[in-house]
């Protein structure tokens, strides 16, 4: 190995390490956003954080959970799988919630009102 090739190897190893480190940090930041979304959803809907993450299937809980899943997809760059892991769900559950809420009406409904309130709460910190 020449001096140049050793230097390039060190450079590229360093660059790759920086890229991977920044990827991990950005993923952690995105997961932190999901946690904030769940907290905000809990405050707006009145459903506890524990219930949103639980396996319970009461309509009010499912409503809040689907909103959190939809907003996690809309407001982060995470994949369905990553959102699912953050919410203790399978990626297909995330896909279902997103599809369901994408098909909602655009008028003044409970879902739309709740989502606006959650987004405002997130924007205000």
pTM of the model: 0.79
What pLDDT is stored for residue 2 in this prediction?
61
Per-residue pLDDT band for 96 (boundaries 50, 70, 90) equals: very high
- Which tops the pLDDT comparison, 43 or 22? 43
- Which tops the pLDDT comparison, 69 or 13? 69
Q: What is the Cα–Cα distance from 48 to 61, expressed in whole angstroms?
A: 9
23-57 per-residue burial string, b: 16 or more CB within 10 A, e: under 16: eeeeeeebbebbebbbbbbbebbebeeebbbeeee
- pLDDT tens for each residue of 20-35: 455 555 788 888 899 9
Q: What is the Cα–Cα distance from 26 to 100, expressed in whole angstroms?
A: 28
- Which tops the pLDDT comparison, 67 or 19? 67
Domains parsed from the chain with CATH numbers: 31-123 (1.10.1750.10)
Q: What is the Cα–Cα distance from 120 to 91, expressed in whole angstroms?
A: 27
| Whether pLDDT at 44 is above 50 | yes
Mean pLDDT of the chain: 85
Per-residue pLDDT band for 91 (boundaries 50, 70, 90) equals: very high
| Whether pLDDT at 19 is above 50 | no
Q: What is the Cα–Cα distance from 9 to 79, expressed in whole angstroms?
A: 32
Q: What is the Cα–Cα distance from 106 to 86, expressed in whole angstroms?
A: 28
| Whether pLDDT at 111 is above 50 | yes
């Amino acid at each position: 190995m020449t001096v140049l090739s050793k230097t390039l190897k060190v450079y590229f190893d360093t660059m790759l390490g920086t890229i991977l480190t920044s990827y991990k940090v950005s993923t952690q930041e995105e997961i932190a956003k999901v946690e904030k979304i769940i907290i905000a959803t809990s405050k707006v809907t009145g459903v506890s954080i524990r219930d949103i993450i639980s396996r319970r299937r009461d309509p009010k809980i499912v409503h809040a959970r689907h909103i959190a899943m939809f907003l996690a997809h809309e407001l982060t760059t995470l994949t369905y799988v990553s959102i699912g892991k953050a919410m203790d769900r399978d990626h297909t559950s995330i896909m279902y919630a997103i599809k369901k809420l994408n098909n909602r009406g655009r008028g003044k409904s409970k879902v739309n009102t709740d989502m606006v309130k959650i987004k405002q709460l997130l924007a205000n910190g």
